């Protein structure tokens, strides 16, 4: 085997673009093996020769390689090569600050795609793990490239946080053009069993309206499909907390029937007219608009949150909305408050 003779005294200094000057005592560096007894080169020797042969100017790698760098510098010096510039970036840790592993989440790009994340959101999030461009967090790649510099890479380890990634993905869902959003979401609606591509005509138009309606309230494409079920299927069951809060109040069934009757007679049937009619009915009954809106939302969607109520009503249409209001009123009457 062949070893490199390390000086007995002095220091080897790594000029790191992120960490500054890092000194290593030569006494702590052994005469490391360059060529094994079987004739094969070791990593520290092979990487130096390979970098020189390819005229590598910058070596950017994980901080765990920092301890290899003084040996590589001594090897470069012995071979007469000019050293490249080195930058050792911090590790990425799990939320509990342990070493990141498979148990902490998706490990491949395909997994993120299957969970409903957009590629630009993932790129944006990964770029900010250990690097800070300033106060702005939502950065398309075209803006990110001119802003990037190694001088703004953090020295401390970054923490992998899927909560932050999911939030960021939600922001990108609002920025994507409607046509592309509909195309990206379609496989998730199909997997949810809500529709069967290819779509055309009125079915396609309805689908695109649903996507636009729910996109502001979700954070992934998978969430978007799950949040759209009531646009395609009958409601079962109603949200339990919503039932206790909005259906169990005295007079809720009567309110829903008044709303159903109102919508059946309403002309024209559009956002402005529906909203005006609901506010008018609230004034007539001398109740808050919320007293009418909340049980209506639960009746026609089964949920307590979602897109704007009047947008849901118009999308579902006059007959389906009125029918669901009547069904909810009947359900309330058939399922009295067990605590009453």
Residues 211 and 132 grouped into a single domain: no
Assess if residue 340 is contained within a domain.
no
- For the chain, the average pLDDT equals 93
**Residue 107 — very low, low, confident or very high, per pLDDT cuts 50/70/90?**
low
Assess if residue 339 is contained within a domain.
no
At 39, list the tokens. Answer: 């004739």
Assess if residue 282 is contained within a domain.
yes
Residues 68 and 134 grouped into a single domain: no
Assess if residue 110 is contained within a domain.
yes
Q: Residues 14-62: pLDDT tens digits?
A: 999 999 999 999 999 989 999 999 999 999 999 999 999 999 999 999 9
Catalytic residue among 36, 99, 102, 136: 102
Residues 210 and 244 grouped into a single domain: no
**Residue 132 — very low, low, confident or very high, per pLDDT cuts 50/70/90?**
confident
Residues 310 and 261 grouped into a single domain: yes
Residues 45 and 20 grouped into a single domain: yes
* Containing structural domain, residue 24: 2-89
Q: Above 90 in pLDDT, residue 96?
A: no
Assess if residue 273 is contained within a domain.
yes
Residues 116 and 188 grouped into a single domain: no
Assess if residue 260 is contained within a domain.
yes
Q: What is the CATH number of the domain that holds 29?
A: 3.40.50.620
Provide the pLDDT for residue 162: 87
Q: Residues 275-302: pLDDT tens digits?
A: 999 999 999 999 999 999 999 999 999 9
Taking residue 143's Cβ as centre, other Cβ atoms within 10 Å add up to 12
Residues 330 and 244 grouped into a single domain: yes
CA–CA separation, 191 vs 194, rounded Å?
A: 8
**To 10 degrees, what angle do helices 43-53 and 69-79 make?**
60
Quote the pTM value: 0.82
Q: Active site includes 164?
A: no
Assess if residue 136 is contained within a domain.
yes
Taken as a whole, the chain contains a residue count of 340
Residues 246 and 330 grouped into a single domain: yes
Please state the domain count of the chain: 4
**Residue-wise DSSP of 237-278:** S--HHHIIIIISSTTHHHHHHHHHHHHHH-SS-SHHHHHHHH
217 touches 303 (CB < 8 A): no
**Residue 181 — very low, low, confident or very high, per pLDDT cuts 50/70/90?**
very high
CA–CA separation, 46 vs 72, rounded Å?
A: 10
Nearest to 95 by CA among 107, 83, 108, 104: 104
CA–CA separation, 39 vs 1, rounded Å?
A: 7
Assess if residue 94 is contained within a domain.
no
Q: Residues 201-258: pLDDT tens digits?
A: 999 999 999 999 999 999 999 999 999 999 999 998 999 999 999 999 999 999 999 9
Last residue of a domain, one of 133, 167, 201: 167
Residues 224 and 252 grouped into a single domain: no
Question: Which residues, including other chains, have CB under 8 Å from residue 125's CB and lie 6 or more apart?
Answer: 164, 165, 168
């Amino acid at each position: 085997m062949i070893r490199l003779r390390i000086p007995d005294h002095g220091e080897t200094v790594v000029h790191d673009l992120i960490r500054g000057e890092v000194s290593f005592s030569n006494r702590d560096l052994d005469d490391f093996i360059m060529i094994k007894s079987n004739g094969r080169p070791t990593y520290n020797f092979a990487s130096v020769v390979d970098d020189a042969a390819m005229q590598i100017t910058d070596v950017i790698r994980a901080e765990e390689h920092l301890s290899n760098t003084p040996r590589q510098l001594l090897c470069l010096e012995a071979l007469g090569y000019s050293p490249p510039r080195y930058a050792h970036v911090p590790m990425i840790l799990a939320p509990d600050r342990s070493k990141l592993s498979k148990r902490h989440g998706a490990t491949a790009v395909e997994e993120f795609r299957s969970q409903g994340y957009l590629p630009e959101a993932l790129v944006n999030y990964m770029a900010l793990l250990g690097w800070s461009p300033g106060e702005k967090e939502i950065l398309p790649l075209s803006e990110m490239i001119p802003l990037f510099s190694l001088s703004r890479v953090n020295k401390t380890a970054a923490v992998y946080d899927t909560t932050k990634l999911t939030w960021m993905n939600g922001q990108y869902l609002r920025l994507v053009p409607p046509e592309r959003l509909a195309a990206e979401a379609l496989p998730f609606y199909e997997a949810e069993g809500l529709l069967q591509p290819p779509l055309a005509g009125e079915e396609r138009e309805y689908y695109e309206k649903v996507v636009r309606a729910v996109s502001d309230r979700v954070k992934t494409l998978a969430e978007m499909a799950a949040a759209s079920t009531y646009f395609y299927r009958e409601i079962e069951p109603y949200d339990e907390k919503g039932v206790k809060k909005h259906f169990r109040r005295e007079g809720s069934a009567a309110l829903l029937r008044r709303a159903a009757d109102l919508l059946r007679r309403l002309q024209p049937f559009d956002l402005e007219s529906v909203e005006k009619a609901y506010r008018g009915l609230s004034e007539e009954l001398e109740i808050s608009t919320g007293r009418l809106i909340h049980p209506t939302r639960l009746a026609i969607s089964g949920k307590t949150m979602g897109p704007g109520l009047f947008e849901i009503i118009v999308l579902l249409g006059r007959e389906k909305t009125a029918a669901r209001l009547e069904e909810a009123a009947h359900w309330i009457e058939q399922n009295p408050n067990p605590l009453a």
